[in-house]
Amino acid sequence: MKATIKDIAKKTNLSVATVSRILNNKTGYFSEKSATKVHKAAEELGYQKNTTAVELVTQTSKVVAVIISSTKTNFADQIIDGIQEVAFENNLNVIFLYAGENDEEIQYKSLVTAIERSVMGIIMVAVELNGSNLDYLQQSRIPYILLSTAHGPKGSAFITTDNYQLGYRATEFLIERGHRKISLVGNDLSDTGTERLRGYKDALKNNHISFNPGLALMGDFSYEDGITAAKKLFQPKLRVTGLIGGSDMVAIGIINQAKELGFSVPEDVSVMSLDGTNITNIYRPIITSAIQPFKEIGKRGMQQLLNTDERPHQSQLLTFNINEGESTRRI
Amino acid sequence: MKATIKDIAKKTNLSVATVSRILNNKTGYFSEKSATKVHKAAEELGYQKNTTAVELVTQTSKVVAVIISSTKTNFADQIIDGIQEVAFENNLNVIFLYAGENDEEIQYKSLVTAIERSVMGIIMVAVELNGSNLDYLQQSRIPYILLSTAHGPKGSAFITTDNYQLGYRATEFLIERGHRKISLVGNDLSDTGTERLRGYKDALKNNHISFNPGLALMGDFSYEDGITAAKKLFQPKLRVTGLIGGSDMVAIGIINQAKELGFSVPEDVSVMSLDGTNITNIYRPIITSAIQPFKEIGKRGMQQLLNTDERPHQSQLLTFNINEGESTRRI
DNA sequence: CTGAAAGCGCTTACAG
DNA sequence: CTGAAAGCGCTTACAG
């Protein structure tokens, strides 16, 4: 059996109340002499505080649960880093739960795990909550925030990169370098993808380029989306000069398939991406990319959760920079 | 305030005992009529079970804590998948804690979080525990297991790929293809790295190639290790024909730096790696790699934790296959 | 089928 | 400075 404060009380001939006060260092409520005895006994018994009991009696928790959509989303690493950094500064514990790839059942199970433990807050990373899960989350009354996803309705707060600008400025970037046949590839049909598409269209329009629906290929940000798009757009002949991948993986898919078909990047075709994780620096050619501030998204998410009491959650759209690599060129 | 079973009891004019039995579906201990009333009241009150209280009173936990060394280790994703799969089958909850990159303080904090919650088991992924943290973990009496790391001493159980064979067979693979000047790059000084080095040396010896200490460059499995090694071994002229990177990142570092110096892979030099994560298929050239069974490591780790009672933990060394990509050739 | 009671490990007014 | 007591939300023998 694990030792409890009762065991310490018995061993030191003190009450559990006094032991508790000493262990929690409630200065002024105990004598040095008792303190020494208690600490010695605790040490000898190998005492471990039972946080579960503490949380029950104090009705508080110092735990934030982070629910992540999947382990396949490599940008989540940076968001996690940001969350951890702020949590560490504020002496909070963070537990992570993986909710699979849009799997409603696993998503629900991870919500249950977090909610039934009465965590102090929940951060959802890149999770598209379906209706009933969102209801469940809201009903719990636990403060929450959505990162790297943009749910307009239902009044949930979210923090993400400005997806409209992502679409707009990437398109503009290629236009400024002489491209006019530009494809947008691998974005999904959620707010994230549709905002990017809107930005793409507006950038074309403002530069007097007519929108060609055949060049906006939606998907789910996957490597395969890039492969598919390249097959479609590069055969029987190159129908575009520039492509924007909805993620780094999409861009790499495009480039690999371009090579497969005998085209060079950026000599024959320019390719850029919209995430800018570390892989863009490690791949060759180095990939031109809009670098999303993922770590900052994580930090702000955690900070905002801590300020719950002061004001209602507010959504934030963050800005970004475009890093010019070796996968694009002026034509 | 959140609703409790006491609220339900009041509303239904039943005792908390009966309410508890109904909510836990202890068949035979309640009438259909009461059950209906209770479920209705629970629904109306938005009742949420308080798992913290349940764990306290039943003195059990259905939570396994997984402590991961860092978000930079990309193979951890597959291990996580394996762990989740088995946990899901067994109706267990898994919480993940990130412990930084060999940071003793964060490592300790994550251990505290897990231990003070009396989780039913702890899985350490790619974590090198220092002495006092290991003591702390063992003292807690919570079952634990180490994945993808090999601590010989202190009787901890671990599951990992056979690192000796990894070193041996990768070296042999290159020797069979005519290479005799072979370098091993980027492995660390822990059991993992030293076992690989031992396998490398034995493979050389068994093939009558003398060991050259200048070709065994240790490191910490990083991209930079690959860059550094290539600078050292490729200038002023190529001093090796084949290299084995201790991780996919090390191999990519070598290849990128080779390109930088004007060498082609595999025409001028062959490079292979010892992880085999997805990036080896996405990079070009496709990287020849010993594919570690990471997902299997995760599954077995979780399974073994579940069998704690039956027999003491046992260490396992798993086998692997080598996938021939485009980054190596016969010479 | 149901309830009263004890208890999980801890904290904290209240009283001295 | 210390202790007795109540209570956090729940479960479960025990008794009926």
DSSP B152-170: -GGG--EEEE-HHHHHHHH
In window 54-113 of A, residues with CB < 7 A from nucleic chain C are 54, 56-58
Q: Inter-chain contact B97–A97, Cβ cutoff 8 Å?
A: no
User: Which of A222-236, A242-256, B42-56 shows the lowest per-residue confidence on average (mean pLDDT)?
Assistant: B42-56
Average pLDDT over residues A115-136: 87
- Range of weakest confidence among A124-133, B227-236, B238-247: A124-133
Q: How far apart are CA A181 and CA A174, in angstroms?
A: 9
**Model pLDDT, residue A234:** 97
Q: Are B157 and B302 in contact (CB under 8 A)?
A: no
B288-291 sheet: strands from edge to edge = B216-218, B182-187, B242-245, B270-273, B288-291, B321-323
Which of A218-232, A317-331, B130-144 is predicted with the least confidence, judged by mean pLDDT?
B130-144
CA A108, CA A124: separation in Å to the nearest integer?
12
Cα gap A238→A231, rounded to integer Å: 10
* Range of A43-52, A122-131, A277-286 with top mean pLDDT: A277-286
What is the average per-residue pLDDT within B270-274? 98
Architecture, CATH, for domain A163-292: 3-Layer(aba) Sandwich (3.40)
pLDDT of residue B25: 87
DSSP class per residue in A273-315: ES---THHHHSSSPPEEEE--HHHHHHHHHHHHHTTTTS----
Task: Band the pLDDT of A125: cuts 50, 70, 90.
Answer: very high
Residues of A in contact with B71 (CB under 8 A): 77-78, 80-81
Chain B interface includes A26 (CB < 8 A)? no
pLDDT band for position A133 (cuts 50, 70, 90): confident
| Tokens linked to B137 | 């973990």
B50/A116 CB distance under 8 A = yes
Residue where the block lists tokens 């735990």: A63
Residue B217, pLDDT score: 98
What's the whole-number average pLDDT of chain B?
A: 91
Strand partners, B67: B97, B124
Band the pLDDT of A308: cuts 50, 70, 90: low
In chain A, where does the domain assigned CATH 3.40.50.2300 lie? Answer: 61-161+295-318, 163-292
Contact B158, B192 (CB under 8 A): no
Q: Give the Cα separation of A326 and A289 in Å (integer).
A: 10
**Shortest CA distance to B112 belongs to which of B146, B136, B143, B96?**
B136
CATH number listed for the domain at residues A61-161+295-318:
3.40.50.2300
**pLDDT confidence of residue A126:** 87
> What does the pLDDT read at residue B60?
85
CA angle at B265 for the pair B263 and B267, rounded to the nearest 5°? 85
Alpha helices by DSSP H, listed for chain B, are: 5-12, 16-23, 32-45, 51-58, 76-89, 104-116, 131-139, 163-176, 191-206, 223-234, 248-260, 279-282, 294-306
Tens of pLDDT, residue by residue over B153-179, are: 567 889 999 999 999 999 999 999 999
The residue among B232 and A7 whose pLDDT is bigger is B232
- How does the average pLDDT of chain A come out, rounded? 91
Is it the case that residue A152 has pLDDT exceeding 70? Answer: no
Token duo for residue A39: 């600490």
Angle at A171 between CA A253 and CA A251, to 5 degrees: 10
CB A224 within 8 A of CB A256: no
As annotated, the residues of chain B forming the CATH 3.40.50.2300 domain(s) are: 60-161+295-318, 163-292
CATH topology of domain B60-161+295-318: Rossmann fold (3.40.50)
The reply to whether omega before A143 is within 30° of 0 (cis) is no
Of A20-24, A211-215, A253-257, B260-264, the poorest mean pLDDT is in: A20-24
pLDDT score at B157:
87
Under 8 Å between Cβ of B8 and B15: no
pLDDT at A71: 54
Phi-psi region of A65 (alpha: psi -120 to 50; beta: other; left: phi over 0): beta
Of A53, A71, A80, the CB nearest to B81: A71
Preceding omega of B266 cis (within 30 degrees of 0): yes
pLDDT band at A32 (very low <50, low <70, confident <90, very high): confident
Q: Report d(CA B76, CA B82) in Å as an integer.
A: 10
pLDDT, residue B311, reads 55
Q: Which residues lie across from A63 on neighbouring strands? A: A93
A321-323 and A288-291 strand pairing: antiparallel
Residue A327 has a pLDDT of 98
Best A4, A80, A96 member to test B by mutation, with max B CBs in 10 Å, is: A96
Residue A18 CB closer than 7 angstroms to strand D? yes
